[in-house]
Amino acid sequence: MKHIFFSLICFAFTSSLNAQNVQLKYSNFDSWITRDIKESKIIGGATKTIYEIGPTGTWNGSVPYVNQGGSPWANSNIMAKVAGVTKSNISVFREKRGTGYCARMTTHVVGVKVLGLVNVHVLAAGSIYLGNMMEPITSSSNPMRYLDYGIPFTAKPSALQFDYKVKLSGKSNRIRQTGFSPVKTIAGMDMPVIICLLQNRWEDSEGNIYAKRIGTAIYRFSKETSDWVNGAQFKIHYGDITGDSYYRDYMNLFQGGDDQKYALNKRGKMVPVREVEWGSASDTPTHLCLQFASSHGGAYIGAVGTSFWIDNVKLIY
């Protein structure tokens, strides 16, 4: 009986420890889905290989991608079909780390040459997030509306943990480059960013989605790292944080602008998620939003060369 009692205590203790540190599915980034996308002849006709986070395998590159194997992850590697022209974007890379892999996000300029004559150059940042990408992308106008942002979630973790590495661009300012207007200088250095939000969402009779912000962990990386930082933890702050020393203006409720978040409503339409108020620590979330990006500031904004590596994403309780 003593042996049985001791075994039960050990099992309970081990289970308790495991409950404190929960790895999100596929967040060790050791398995990826490979997509080979044949671009249209009018822009060169090259075949580009891009990757999705999920069970190891392949996906027909001519078919819009949907998350596989229960993967909660999407990213900014996409297939676009604009005016009948197929184009891909690659800003998230599968990269070797030890015996497995990690994810690298990079900010770069994507060039498109039509019939060898017309050049269009767009700045693209690498981004990984919980949710879905609504392929194919059919317009460069407001690309955020293709990101179905967040997943159903009701728990309350105390922190986010992951391994990371940062490379900054070395430039003092950023640019905004859409490809269809002059390049504009944006004040301030570029920084990789994590955005972790716990929201309580609801939908009205017209299909509009609203949210109460319950938990917040938003962090910008202003310093380059010489090597990996392993097991870094970032506290999730609950309730209204506007009076806390931790608070910065960019942590405010998302209510529009270049970084507006979207989600699929019950009618199958992508609509803005309008954060209308702060919740309290006692409120129960309905959704978890988690995003890693090589640049902050919104679509088409950043500095070429800014890079962000992540691995082993976990929630701490």
- List, for residues 252-286, the tens digit of each pLDDT value: 999 877 778 999 999 999 999 999 999 999 999 99
Q: Which of 1-10, 117-126, 140-149, 305-314 has the lowest mean pLDDT?
A: 1-10
Buried b / exposed e along 40-60 (16+ C-beta atoms within 10 A): bebbeeeebebbbbbeeeebe
Give the structural domain span for 23.
2-316
Residue whose entry in the numeric block shows the structure tokens 């540190």: 21
Q: Tell me, what's the pLDDT at 111?
A: 75
Look up the pTM and report it.
Answer: 0.90
Give the pLDDT confidence of 54-68 residue by residue, as tens digits.
999 999 988 999 999
Task: Give which of 173, 166, 161 is closest to 192, Cα–Cα.
Answer: 166
Q: Tell me, what's the pLDDT at 144?
A: 87
Q: Tell me, what's the pLDDT at 23?
A: 87
- Quickly state the pLDDT bin for 43 (edges 50, 70, 90): confident
* Torsion of Cα atoms, 85 then 90 then 169 then 111, to 10°: -20
Residue whose entry in the numeric block shows the structure tokens 């308790």: 16
Q: Tell me, what's the pLDDT at 114?
A: 62
Give the residue-averaged pLDDT of 165-170.
98
Q: Tell me, what's the pLDDT at 178?
A: 87
Q: Tell me, what's the pLDDT at 119?
A: 63
Residue whose entry in the numeric block shows the structure tokens 């570029």: 190
Give the pLDDT confidence of 82-140 residue by residue, as tens digits.
878 898 889 999 999 999 999 999 999 987 766 554 567 889 999 999 999 999 888 87
Percent pLDDT > 70 in the chain is 91
The amino acid sitting at 233 is: Q
Give the pLDDT confidence of 201-252 residue by residue, as tens digits.
999 999 999 999 999 999 999 999 999 999 999 999 999 999 999 999 999 9
Q: Tell me, what's the pLDDT at 131?
A: 97
Residue whose entry in the numeric block shows the structure tokens 């004559």: 117
Q: Is 10 exposed, middle or buried (0-12, 13-18, 19+ CB in 10 A)?
A: exposed
From residue 145, give the alpha-carbon distance in Å to each of 54, 107, 133, 269.
23, 20, 9, 10
The DSSP result for 158-206, as a single string, is SEEEEEEEEE----SSEEE--SSS--EEESS----EEEEEEEEEEE-TT
Total domain count, the chain: 1
Q: Tell me, what's the pLDDT at 6?
A: 37
Residue 17 has pLDDT above 80, yes or no: no
Residue 175 has pLDDT above 80, yes or no: yes
* Average pLDDT across the chain, whole number: 90
Residue 208: give its domain's CATH number: 2.60.120
